[in-house]
Structure 1
């Protein structure tokens, strides 16, 4: 995927030697925002937030292992531990000692933040968090992608569909219709459906399947309770993959939830479907919890 104009690129090495592709946008010294994308996506998924925020923020976005320009992982493979390791590595490499940022995670990106909730790297660098269209557990049991009532059959069919090793094939009218039904609201504009389809279909089959197995058995409830910093929660009311019930439960369980936003008619791909609303939530968090930043130490790590 071609990087957005103006990106400063770097490769970060995670704990197990996995190489993580990172892109940095915006002026040095500006308030920092770190973006973690979801399953089958990439940095490109955050294009609208990057364009909007990079005028007055330093925006740090990275490809999760096996996605985008981050190659297949090292010995750590696919796990919630690997998610947390990679996020810690990105924070350490891009933020100066003592520098804090607003972290925004969509879907698996939100789960990444939950997985790292008790890590020193997150506690040292996170000023506030946006959990966007995500959930901590029971993902296949709660998902409504398969049009059946709740129960064991729906859970098993959902796990089989999401964990399929079959290739996604080309982006065409049929594949876009399927993706729209599963991941987006019914009113999503054709160009937004096309953008999401091209991002998702670019994800290699191996990482898509590998991460699906991790998500099927996910349990990060402890991570939700361990996020003892300001956290905003956002979800679409038409989300079939991580329905709003997840977000409502997280808002209740979080020690310091700053608010729950439910976007009427929006599906799972909220940063693409409702970019202005997602960007506004990030801006509100940076204004409230970062304020005017001391720019004297921002470049310390890069200059060292």
Structure 2
């Protein structure tokens, strides 16, 4: 049995909630935190997660930022997908809908995405909405292609067998079941660094196990075929990349390739001993990077260097 949530683990309470309507009619749950008029930050979570995954960042940033967090379709408070179903185009559509619903025309924000959330930003790189609103981008623990071939979740030699078995894992229809000590061990092995604190493993397990099976399977199949390398080359906002050296789901080879292909890359930060869940495993580092991007690209862009000094 998993333990009750501690106060510091409980999801932050939003100032306001709203629904953004995507291109195919899908309804996307959006949460707003922090004061109106403050510099804006948008957070896009990854596969099998939800807005609660960003709890540490929201608590810190909402003191002096307007934080926008949303549930990817089929996750959290966002229902299953509409007629467009599940695809990288749907990810981009949903992001554009959230940006249009929460930011004024021309308003700039730092956009941060973890795992599939980072893929969302890369998939939307040529979209007018992203180009209008992205002052800077942070990509955490993500990749643009070859996810099956490079995955290290299964301790097998690279090759066709490992790729086929990894595909089967991503698309597995078996229910995850309740959070147990055994399931937390599996999740930590697959997604987190060996030294991850038990309370952080427990938090991630609660979030992942809450993901509806249909969405988990559908998005797993999308990730198995992912190829958005062209989107990386079109992501023209200043972009920083963070990766954990012990990430088995999207090993650092992905982050290095993305960082090398970005038109306005701000460099790659590799976190020693950290796994795939960087915003939870290394919350201070991720939050500090977001603050750094806001200070450099939102405040300066909005006020001018003389006023920001």
Q: Per the shorter chain, which TM-score range?
A: over 0.9
Cα separation, 2, equivalents of 1:131 and 1:149: 28
User: TM-score when scaled to structure 1?
Assistant: 0.95
Cα separation, 2, equivalents of 1:62 and 1:86: 10
- Trace 1:177-196 onto structure 2 (pairs within 5 A): 177-196=185-204
Matching residue within 285, 293, 296 for 1:285: 293
- Trace 1:25-64 onto structure 2 (pairs within 5 A): 25-64=33-72
Check conservation: 1:231, 1:254, Cα contact below 8 A.
yes
- Trace 1:1-304 onto structure 2 (pairs within 5 A): 4-291=12-299
List structure 1 segments (4+ residues) > 3 angstroms apart after TM superposition: 292-295
Check conservation: 2:142, 2:250, Cα contact below 8 A.
yes
Cα separation, 2, equivalents of 1:294 and 1:231: 18
- Please state how far the C-alpha of 1:292 moved relative to its aligned partner: 5.4
Check conservation: 2:279, 2:286, Cα contact below 8 A.
yes
- Please state how far the C-alpha of 1:294 moved relative to its aligned partner: 5.4
Check conservation: 1:30, 1:293, Cα contact below 8 A.
no
Secondary structure of 2:299's aligned partner: coil
- Please state how far the C-alpha of 1:5 moved relative to its aligned partner: 2.1
- Please state how far the C-alpha of 1:293 moved relative to its aligned partner: 7.2
Q: How many residues align?
A: 295
- Please state how far the C-alpha of 1:291 moved relative to its aligned partner: 1.4
Secondary structure of 1:99's aligned partner: coil
The gaps in structure 1 that reach 5 residues or longer are 296-304
- Please state how far the C-alpha of 1:6 moved relative to its aligned partner: 3.8
User: TM-score when scaled to structure 2?
Assistant: 0.94
Q: Mean alpha-carbon deviation: is it higher for 157-166 or for 101-110?
A: 157-166
Q: Mean alpha-carbon deviation: is it higher for 203-212 or for 285-294?
A: 285-294
Alignment RMSD, CA only? 1.3
Q: Deviations over 1:90-147 (max 9, x none)?
A: 0001000110100000000000001100000000000000000000000011000000
The gaps in structure 2 that reach 5 residues or longer are 1-9, 304-309
Q: Which residue of 2 aligns with 1:298?
A: none
- Please state how far the C-alpha of 1:218 moved relative to its aligned partner: 0.4
